[in-house]
Amino acid sequence: MSIGQLRHGPVDRYRRVVQVLVHHGFEHYVVDQLGLGHLLPISWGMLRGHRRPKSFTRGERLRLALEELGTTYIKLGQILSTRSDLLAPDLIAELSKLQNDVPPEPLSVVEAQITAELGKAPEALFTHFDPQPLGSASIGQVHAAKLLTGEEVVVKVRRSGVERLVEADLAVLMDLARLAQTRTAWGKVYDLPAMVHEFADTLRAELDYVREGRNAERIARNYSQDSNLRVPKIFWPYTTKRVLTMERIDGIKINDLAALDAAGIDRHKLAVKALRIVLKMILEDGFFHADPHPGNFLIGPRETIGLVDFGMVGSLDEQTRENLLHLLAAVVEHDIDRILDRMSALGIVGTTFQLDHLKQDLEHLISLYWGLPLKEMDTRRMLEEFMLMVRRRELSVPAHLVLMIKTLNMHEGLARQLDPEITLTDLVPPYVRQLAAKSYLPQRWGKRVLPAVLDLSQLMVTLPRRADRLLGQAERGTTSVSVRVQETEHVLDSLNRMVNRLILGILTASATIGIALLLQLLRASDLRSPIFEIVSALLAAGFLAAVTMALWLTLGILRRGHH
């Protein structure tokens, strides 16, 4: 792919991405597989294979590269750290360490951003605005402040220019994803452009502080009757897409065990509350906080939990939650066929020939835990082994389910820090029974019956007409069936490239021979004129271009053959 084909992002940014990846030892993917060596300076070719000390692991090199590339790639790494269905455990572990802390912007820049967004300078909006930020990340930074009405708040201010940089990087990522899909084996297994599109939606949502405020309010409504969870109030007159003002919540970080003990917090009760909260979010509400970092949980008196940072959330519709319920029931009953059916209903799919192997994997996984007391079941390990099986069998898993599994794993990890004896299996069965009972309530069925009746009546009206149209097409011989065999696409793509390269080689050889003969004829003639000199120069330039093209083709063939 040439620079002209990489047209969606700035060329300088492409060069920067390629150079950083090669610098950290990923030239095999960037140069050999993606064919982007032309974006490197010529001098880099002499240094190939000698970028990073061998003491760095693959995961460390990837983490360092993403940190060097900045905001978009750090966020990409953080999201990939949730995708245990895609990446190996060593990469997951290293990407989980990605740090998003960066030096804060100058106060003058922050004040200018607030003035531009809210129409007034900070001193006109707040009685106090702390010049030292509470925290600083690649997207924004947070300052403590006090409103004119006396409320203690925190003000999150987005960094200037970050949106423009993110959009440029997303364009680069999309082009690279499309390129990888056609040129790499793993690109043919996974829909990389769709994944980048999903990531772009997630990142743009994090850039929009209005959406984050609405996320917070939605969770607050879901827990309006529960005093165990505290969600900060959003002050909308002081909030825009680039500035978010919310109530300040103080407390002890959930992983500060010494401070919790000193404050007299019952850690077992706190662990139970934390797990019940996440189970309610996922199984009942279908809308959950998807960034369970310890710094986002602030513990107050009587084991109350203050929750902050609502940039990353997940959602599950009612049908998905019901399928999860049935999947859990099938696991309890050790019914492998029903498990496979529910996995398919949830969108966890693979190719048909994987079915027998998948059955064997599931039999083995369930047999490890079958008959064990709940206390002895390690839910976190079960989920991790399930995701390893998914990755090994190259199954496609919807991103929202992966995010849910990662969220559950992280919540159980936090709960086990508080109380090593607790597991999710202690609390899941009551929720399963509760949801099972709710699914058979008359009012739940009533909500479904009316839409089903409407759909059926519409089908009865349109079905005869559609059937008559289809039969008419069949009689006239105009019915066509479109069949797409995905397994042969990469073969056809390879053949297409081979034929194109062959044609280009023939044309290059023809041009080289033809130009050489013309040059020989001109030199043998006695004609001498300015036009003769110009024509000779043009033919000589064409000959050099043809030779260069031949060398380029030769190098390309050798490189592909070596790979």
The pLDDT tens digits of the residues spanning 371-383 come to: 666 566 667 777 7
- Residue 107's pLDDT is 93
Contacts of 29 (CB under 8 A, 6+ apart): 21, 184
- Residue 178 predicted with pLDDT over 70: yes
- Residue 49 predicted with pLDDT over 50: no
Beta strands in 130-285, from DSSP E residues, in sequence order = 135-136, 140-147, 152-158, 229-230, 243-247, 252-253
User: Which of 248, 265, 293 is the endpoint of a domain?
Assistant: 248
User: Which of 442, 461, 484 is the endpoint of a domain?
Assistant: 442
Domain span including residue 512: 492-562
Residues marked active site are found at 291
- Residue 67's pLDDT is 86
Which carries the bigger pLDDT value, residue 378 or residue 127? Answer: 127
* Mean pLDDT of the chain, nearest integer: 79
Q: Are residues 423 and 537 in the same domain?
A: no
The neighbouring-strand residues paired with 145 are 129, 153
Residue 110 pLDDT level (bands cut at 50, 70, 90): very high
State mean pLDDT over 433-443.
62
- Residue 451 resides in a domain: no
- Residue 5 predicted with pLDDT over 60: no
- Residue 12 predicted with pLDDT over 50: yes
Report how many domains make up the chain: 3
Which carries the bigger pLDDT value, residue 53 or residue 121? Answer: 121
How many Cβ atoms are within 10 Å of 408's Cβ, its own excluded? 21
Note whether 153 and 239 are within 8 A (CB): no
- Residue 281's pLDDT is 92
Q: Are residues 379 and 502 in the same domain?
A: no
Which carries the bigger pLDDT value, residue 480 or residue 246? Answer: 246
Q: Are residues 332 and 412 in the same domain?
A: yes
Angle at which helices 209-222 and 192-207 cross, to 10°: 80
- Residue 433 resides in a domain: yes
Q: Are residues 437 and 511 in the same domain?
A: no
Which carries the bigger pLDDT value, residue 466 or residue 401? Answer: 401
Mind listing the pLDDT tens digit for each residue in 497-520? 666 667 766 766 766 776 666 666
- Residue 47's pLDDT is 46
Q: Are residues 240 and 107 in the same domain?
A: yes
Residue 219 pLDDT level (bands cut at 50, 70, 90): very high
Residue 11 pLDDT level (bands cut at 50, 70, 90): confident
- Residue 269 resides in a domain: no
Q: Are residues 434 and 544 in the same domain?
A: no
Q: Are residues 434 and 513 in the same domain?
A: no
- Residue 208 predicted with pLDDT over 80: yes
Q: Are residues 427 and 518 in the same domain?
A: no
User: Which of 415, 442, 469 is the endpoint of a domain?
Assistant: 442
Residue 1 pLDDT level (bands cut at 50, 70, 90): very low
- Residue 530 burial (CB < 10 Å; 0-12/13-18/19+)? exposed
Q: Which amino acid is at 439?
A: S
Q: Are residues 187 and 107 in the same domain?
A: yes
- Residue 28 resides in a domain: no
Q: Are residues 423 and 335 in the same domain?
A: yes
Question: 151: which 2 tokens?
Answer: 């409320």
pTM comes to: 0.70
- Residue 469 resides in a domain: no
Residue 427 pLDDT level (bands cut at 50, 70, 90): confident
- Residue 308 resides in a domain: no
Q: Are residues 200 and 330 in the same domain?
A: no
Most confident region among 193-197, 296-300, 442-446 by mean pLDDT:
296-300
d(CA 505, CA 456): 61
Q: List alpha helices for 370-427, DSSP H.
A: 379-392, 399-418
User: Diameter of the chain by CA atoms?
Assistant: 106
State mean pLDDT over 356-369.
79
- Residue 39 resides in a domain: no
Q: Are residues 340 and 433 in the same domain?
A: yes
State mean pLDDT over 272-299.
89
Question: 290: which 2 tokens?
Answer: 């998807």
- Residue 74 resides in a domain: no
Extract long-range pairs of 201-205: CB within 8 Å, 24+ residues apart.
202/75, 202/79, 202/312, 203/72, 203/75, 203/166, 203/170, 204/166, 205/311, 205/312
Question: 149: which 2 tokens?
Answer: 């009405």
Question: 411: which 2 tokens?
Answer: 């919540």
